[in-house]
Amino acid sequence: NLGSELEDREFNCAIRVFAEKKDHRAVDILLSDLRKDGRVLEAETFSVVAEVLVKVGREDDALGIFKNLDLFKCPQDKTTVASIVNALCAKGHAKRAEGVLLHHKDKISGVESCVYKSILYGWSMQENVKEARRILQEMKSKNITLDLYCFNTFLKCLCECNLKNNPSGLVPEALNVMMEMRTYKVIPNSVSYNVLLSCLGRARRVKESLKILDSMRRSGCAPDWTSYYLVARVLYLTGRFGKGNQMVDMMMEVGLVPPA
């Protein structure tokens, strides 16, 4: 009997290995055995299992384990709360993650920033600008620092939404967010601009793409190879091959080369 020969630590390690190998049947069996044998489920193991289950569409099972962690001798604490919230939001299940948060707000001291950033990401995945903005406001009201990650995540949400519903609003609304960032002393970086450039390229908005690249330089934000690539790409896709070649030459002149 495998179980009788292993310590709890080794048993947990086995579960994590099978989870990472995506052997879901083995994970189910080992979790059942762990519970029957009265073993301790480590927080690290729960985190890995929750992530794997949600990835394959078994978020109900992940939540079921979380709700019954006491049966696995694992506490519902800040670590396990943050783990289930992160797992859910990584696949866009922000509403369900907020349900967890609602019932366990008293347990997230010290990991508030991590939890709220996960939920912000979850709403962003759904391109739900209203809910993503609400989370930013909640973070502000709770004195959680709004950093570059927060704004870039929201910016991606906004741009992806506008790409589908309001392409003409791409530039003005994104620039408004960048102005807001600066009021928080958060300086937009190349990732911020590349989010916008990517959406402009997919909308085939050539003039605006060129203007944004120029405004990057003027604002002191050096374009990276991705910035040049995105602009060159939209130039080529719209038949402006000469200008596309010039953009590639410009990228090479400043010493930027795409990774191999």
Domain that holds residue 153: 147-259
Same domain, 104 and 141: yes
- The sign of the torsion formed by the CA atoms of 141, 142, 148, 150 equals negative
CA distance 3 to 9: 11
pLDDT exceeds 70 at position 2: no
Same domain, 111 and 174: no
Residues in the chain: 260
Same domain, 174 and 250: yes
Q: Which of 124, 145, 166 is the last residue of a domain?
A: 145
Q: Taking all residues of the chain, what is their mean pLDDT, rounded to a whole number?
A: 95
**% the chain with pLDDT above 90:** 95
What integer pLDDT is reported at residue 7 of this predicted model? Answer: 87
Residue 2 lies in a domain: no
Query: pLDDT higher for 194 or 257?
Result: 194
Pull the structure tokens for residue 179.
């102005």
Dump pLDDT digits (tens) for 106-154.
999 999 999 999 999 999 999 999 999 999 999 999 999 999 999 999 9
CA distance 100 to 102: 5
Domain count, the chain: 3
- 255: which DSSP letter? T
pLDDT exceeds 60 at position 100: yes
pLDDT exceeds 70 at position 1: no
Pull the structure tokens for residue 241.
């091959």
Phi-psi group of 22: left, alpha or beta (phi > 0 → left; psi -120 to 50 → alpha; rest → beta): left
